[in-house]
Structure 1
Amino acid sequence: MRSPLPFLLATLFLDAVGIGLVAPVMPDLIAGVEGGDIGDVALWGGLLTTAYALMQFLGAPALGALSDRVGRRPVLLGSLAVMAADYAGSALAGSIWTLLGLRLLAGASAATIATCNAALADVTPPEGRARAFGLLSAAFLLGFVLGPVVSGVLGEIGPRAPFWAAAALAALNMAFGALTLPETVPPGRRRPLSLARANPFGAARAVARLGGAARLLLVILLHDLGIVAYVAVWAYWGKAAFGWSPLLIGVSLAAYGLGGAVVQGWLMPFYLRWFGERGTILWGLVADAAFLLAFALLPPTPLGGLIAILLCPFSALPEATLPAIQGRLSRLAPADAQGEALGVAAAARSLAAVLGPLAMTTAFAWGAEQAPPFFGVAYLVGAALMLGAVVAFLGDRTPDPAPAPASAT
């Protein structure tokens, strides 16, 4: 069987490019179809983002379980087809309700990350999965860095041009997969689809029965809730505290993305060799908390802004954490339940994407209204959540798991 890795890397790279293509021009598209001031546009943008994450939370476990039943190939190709249709439909949308419907559909069918991870787990020895997941995450981060750059060029044509480009990339990737992607789940390893487990709550209960898995899911949730502090308020914080221009904000994000790609794509095996799987997770969580605390305490001065820029690539050093957690979770799961387990992990991350932005932007707004203002309060909240993840993981006394046998059902 040919290796699925080239297609999986291309899929996550192009997936992230597509996200980066449309994110910068989404405000202009919303303003074009709905009108209103910047506050109204931001409100609708937040609603679209939340709708997507909520549907992904509801749909990811079902798609993961479906891929355990019918195989990874049809689920991945189907997800890419819906993605292409979503981008093309958004380019043609004439109302905000059309955009909302498309975001709901896209979120419900978003299966690329979890299914790519499951496909790679199918063909990778358990001890090599954390490293393999790191490669996929590195491809995603590189695409996320490139996407906004290309969007800036295409956005000069109009706010709909990047959506057409994203649709074309998804369609070409689907064609590439149809020609090259092998099925990684042999018929003898497939299991019946259980409706009781094809939802986030039933699937989470099933996965939580695996020794140590419940704590890992809690760690993923707390970790991503903490990291949302960067995603939700970075641009607002940079502008309010240091007067950053859009260019500086973009440079800082690119520096983080490139640093994260280096960690996941190159340094990951060194982390695992030096610290082991458990040590890599603990080190990453503690380092994340430390960097969040450092950003929270930076003074709102030009020197503080310079330090923040310089810290950006170094704050990506803990990017090995999530691939190591996913590798540990994958090793706990039976061979015929990789899609379900990694789908539940994706659902936990989606839940953080639903809950986190509102909490962090609310914290930022509260801090900005204080006298004197405390613009970094969201990062303080993020650091506390990260320390909660440390405590949760320390309570897990499960040794590094051996490969689990196929389940009986």
Structure 2
Amino acid sequence: MSSHHTTDGSKPPSPFKQPRAVWAVAFACVVSFMGIGLVDPILKSLAGQLHATPSQVELLFTSYLVVTAVAMLGTGWVSSRIGPKRTLIAGLSVIVVFAALAGSSNSIGEIVGFRAGWGLGNALFIATSLSVIVGSASGGFAGAIVLYESALGVGIALGPLIGGVLGNISWRGPFYGVSVLMFIALLATIFLLPKMPKPARKQKLSEPLTALKHKSLRTTSIVGFLYNWGFFTVLGYSPFLMGIDSPIKLGLVFCGWGVLVAVFAVWGAPWLQRRFGTPRTLYVNFVLMAIDLAVIGVFPYNHVAVIVAVIIAGAFIGVNNTLVTTAVMSIAPVERPVASATYGFVRFIGGGMAPFVAGLLVTAFNAHVPFLLGTATLLAAAIVLSTAHKALTAADRGEVAQPERDELDRVEDADVFPEAETIGNAD
């Protein structure tokens, strides 16, 4: 297995020297991830113009991410039957249609519904794109993860900026903008990505849930749930605390946040992992991010404190995104598409619930509570991660992930995990 460091101390290969097909998928990833932060600059505009409460507006995140999470469970089943390229094309097509429909809506309920359809396409695309990039990228597994996470960071950085510029014209603009960009990504995928063979084995619908029987995957997925709760509490509710009404200004704040996500995902995380190892880096990073959320929780009505804390959070999120994804794909003793679907399902449930719950908590109590809850979930993430310390350390040394024998014995269909003993050598 490749790691962010090499055993002889030499510099690892650049993750940016890739075939055209990989860049086509990476571009589509950028646009897809733009959809996450795209609505941040227009949340207050939507609430005002469509006469919606903050809790109703937060459903834009919840419907999108929860549907993405549930649909993740079926992505491997679909991909193993129609092939990765057709799955990517199907996902992109769904996003193009539903993003355009969201832009043509006249009520918050319609937008929430169309964002749910958008989430279905997003699930088909995200899970498959990760496996395609990992399987097609040069520079090894770790380089592929860095490329994928840098696409996520660039998308998250550009999403609020484009959302702010287009949202300043009309709240419909960002939705139409994503539809157009996704159509371009769809064409790039059709013409630049070569036809890819279907997997040798058809995946069962139950496999992503069955895979949670493995301690290593279950542990890292729970960490993803807890971490994403804090992540999307910041992303979803903080715009209401900044005292900024201009979509462009809100877009600039979240662009600064997204730039730090990208920088620390691409350069910060690999350097920290080489210097300190995955587990120690993540422990400290979770604690620092918890402190950052605590600042917002203690001073939610101080606009400057909230803005600065949100931007700084981008650094912690960038490190976490790269290293937690790498950890999941490194130590899970199942096929990588299955691990990706399982992890995506659990983490996006946390990401989807957090903004909506934040709105409810503010209504029932005050603005302190959701961010202090996010602080607690991040500290819990560090504690849960510590139970997988040995496996993470072994993965840093390049050792092969092995299935937990006692847990495999309890799996009804032993052939569900045929690659369990070779996954570490998938590069």
Q: How do residues 162-201 of structure 1 correspond to structure 2 at under 5 angstroms?
A: 162-182=174-194, 186-187=197-198, 189-197=199-207
What is the CA deviation profile of residues 72-126 of structure 1, one whole-angstrom value per residue up to 9, with x for unaligned ones?
A: 211111100111111222334466665454333222232332222222222458x
Query: Partner amino acid for 1:213?
Result: L
- Asked whether 1:339 is paired with 2:337, we answer yes
Conserved 8 A contact 2:241-2:300: no
CA offset at residue 168 of structure 1?
1.5
Aligned with 1:385 (options 351, 355, 377): 377
What corresponds to 1:212 in structure 2? Answer: 216
What is the CA deviation profile of residues 273-297 of structure 1, one whole-angstrom value per residue up to 9, with x for unaligned ones?
A: 1122223322322221222223333
Query: Partner amino acid for 2:265?
Result: Q
Q: How do residues 80-99 of structure 1 correspond to structure 2 at under 5 angstroms?
A: 80-93=92-105, 99=111
What corresponds to 1:16 in structure 2? Answer: 33
Alignment size in residue pairs: 381
- Flag the 1:135–1:38 CA change in 2: closer, same or farther, 3 A: same
What corresponds to 1:278 in structure 2? Answer: 279
- Asked whether 1:6 is paired with 2:23, we answer yes
Q: How do residues 300-311 of structure 1 correspond to structure 2 at under 5 angstroms?
A: 300=301, 305-311=303-309
Question: C-alpha separation between the residues in 1 aligned to 2:105 and 2:250?
Answer: 29
State the superposition RMSD in angstroms.
3.3
What corresponds to 1:372 in structure 2? Answer: none
Conserved 8 A contact 1:130-1:325: no
Conserved 8 A contact 1:131-1:323: no
What corresponds to 2:293 in structure 1? Answer: 292
Aligned with 1:59 (options 57, 71, 86): 71
What corresponds to 2:5 in structure 1? Answer: none
Question: C-alpha separation between the residues in 2 aligned to 1:394 and 1:88?
Answer: 44
- Mean Cα displacement is larger for which, 260-269 or 150-159? 150-159
What corresponds to 2:133 in structure 1? Answer: 120
Q: Which secondary structure state, in structure 2, belongs to the residue aligned with residue 192 of structure 1?
A: coil
- Flag the 1:68–1:270 CA change in 2: closer, same or farther, 3 A: farther
Query: Partner amino acid for 1:317?
Result: A
CA offset at residue 345 of structure 1?
1.3
Question: C-alpha separation between the residues in 2 aligned to 1:326 and 1:289?
Answer: 19
Question: C-alpha separation between the residues in 1 aligned to 2:88 and 2:167?
Answer: 29
Q: Could you state the TM-score of these two structures normalised by the residue count of structure 1?
A: 0.80
Query: Partner amino acid for 2:99?
Result: Y
CA offset at residue 391 of structure 1?
1.0
Query: Partner amino acid for 2:295?
Result: A
Q: Could you state the TM-score of these two structures normalised by the residue count of structure 2?
A: 0.77
What corresponds to 2:83 in structure 1? Answer: 71
Question: C-alpha separation between the residues in 2 aligned to 1:295 and 1:74?
Answer: 44
What is the CA deviation profile of residues 371-404 of structure 1, one whole-angstrom value per residue up to 9, with x for unaligned ones?
A: xxxx433222111111111111111232534345
Question: C-alpha separation between the residues in 2 aligned to 1:191 and 1:100?
Answer: 36
What corresponds to 1:371 in structure 2? Answer: none
Query: Partner amino acid for 1:352?
Result: G
CA offset at residue 222 of structure 1?
0.9
Q: How do residues 95-110 of structure 1 correspond to structure 2 at under 5 angstroms?
A: 99-110=111-122
Conserved 8 A contact 2:96-2:178: yes
Conserved 8 A contact 2:242-2:304: no
What corresponds to 1:253 in structure 2? Answer: 254
Aligned with 1:350 (options 340, 348, 354): 348
Q: Which secondary structure state, in structure 2, belongs to the residue aligned with residue 316 of structure 1?
A: helix
CA offset at residue 176 of structure 1?
0.4
Question: C-alpha separation between the residues in 2 aligned to 1:376 and 1:84?
Answer: 38
- Flag the 1:271–1:59 CA change in 2: closer, same or farther, 3 A: same
**Seq. identity, %:** 21
CA offset at residue 323 of structure 1?
1.9
- Structure 1: segments with no counterpart, 5+ residues: 198-202, 369-374
Query: Partner amino acid for 2:353?
Result: L
CA offset at residue 134 of structure 1?
3.4
Conserved 8 A contact 1:281-1:324: yes
